[in-house]
Structure 1
Amino acid sequence: MDNFAYSIIAAVSKNGGIGYKGDLPWRLKKEMAYFNRITTQVNRENTQNAVIMGRNTWQSIPDKYRPLKGRINVVISKTLNSVPEGILLYPKLTEALKDLYSNDCVEKCWIIGGTGLYNEAINDKNCKYLYITKINQEFVCDTFFPDFDPNNFEEIFEPYIPKDIQEENGIQYEFKVFKRL
Structure 2
Amino acid sequence: MARILNGIVAMCPNLGIGKDGNLPWHPTRLNEEFKYFRKMTATASVEGKQNVVIMGRKTWFSIPEKNRPLNNRINIVLSRQLKDPPHGAHHLAPDFISALRLINTELSERADQVWVIGGSSLYKELMESQGIRRLFVTQVLKQFPCDTFFPELSTDDYNLLPSFPGVPQGLQEENGIQYKFEVYESIVH
Same fold (TM over 0.5): yes
Q: 1:140 aligns with which of 139, 145, 165?
A: 145
1:85 to partner: Cα distance: 5.2
1:159 Cα deviation from its structure 2 partner: 3.0
Tell me by how many angstroms 1:6 deviates: 0.7
State the shift of 1:17 in Å: 0.7
Are the counterparts in 1 of residues 77 and 89 from structure 2 also a CA contact under 8 Å? no
- 1:86 positional shift: 5.2
Q: How many residues are matched?
A: 180
Is the contact made by 1:46 and 1:105 (CA closer than 8 Å) also made in structure 2? Answer: yes
The question of whether the paired residues in 1 share the 8 Å contact of 2:18 and 2:149 is answered with yes
Structure 1 unaligned blocks of 5 or more: none
Partners of 2:38 and 2:49 lie apart in 1 by: 16
Q: Which has the higher strand share?
A: 1
Which of 63, 66, 91 is residue 64 of structure 1 equivalent to? 66
Partner of residue 179, structure 1: 185
Letter in 2 for 1:169: N
21, 29, 32: which one aligns with 2:31: 29
Indicate whether 1:163 and 2:166 are aligned: no
Instruction: Tell me how far apart the structure 2 counterparts of residues 24 and 128 of structure 1 sit (CA, whole Å).
Output: 24
CA offsets per residue over residues 98-157 of structure 1, 9 Å max, x none?
A: 121231210011000000101111111235100000000111011111102111111111
1:74 CA displacement: 0.4
Gaps of 5+ in 2: none
* Counterparts of 2:48 and 2:94, CA distance in 1: 27
Q: Distance in 2 between matches of 1:124 and 1:115?
A: 14
The AA in structure 1 aligned to 2:70 is: L
- AA matched with 1:134: Q
User: Which residue type is aligned with residue 18 of structure 2?
Assistant: G
* Cα pair distance change 1:77/1:163, threshold 3 Å: same
> 1:11 and 1:180, CA in 2 relative to 1: closer, same or farther beyond 3 A?
same
Contact 1:48 1:106 in 2 (8 A): yes
Q: Alpha carbons of 1:13 and 1:127: their partners in 2 closer, same or farther (altered >3 Å)?
A: farther
TM-score by length of structure 2 reads 0.91
Counterparts of 1:117 and 1:146 in 2: how far apart (Å)? 10
Shifted more, 99-108 versus 15-24: the winner is 99-108
User: Which residue in the other structure is 2:57 paired with?
Assistant: 55
Task: Quote the residue 1:101 is aligned against.
Answer: 104
